[in-house]
Amino acid sequence: MATINDVYLESRYPGEIGLLDDGSMPTTEQAMLFFAFAKEVKAHIKKELGVD
């Protein structure tokens, strides 16, 4: 979660858009993990809100 937060902050407040703390771009594998995590969060929130 901390890594996703770091990417978000960099994207939200651009300096080096989308870069990780060490200045590198996320790998394809990291991006896929971030996306899967985001989908899980979305599904959980929709379930809690009772939205289909």
Angle between helices 28-49 and 2-12 (to 10 degrees): 90
Q: Are 44 and 50 in contact (CB under 8 A)?
A: no
Angle at 37 between CA 35 and CA 39, to 5 degrees: 70
Number of structural domains in the chain: 1
Interval 1-24: pLDDT, tens = 777 776 666 556 556 556 676 778
Interval 36-46: pLDDT, tens = 999 999 999 99
Burial class (CB in 10 A: 0-12, 13-18, 19+), 10: middle
pTM of the model: 0.60
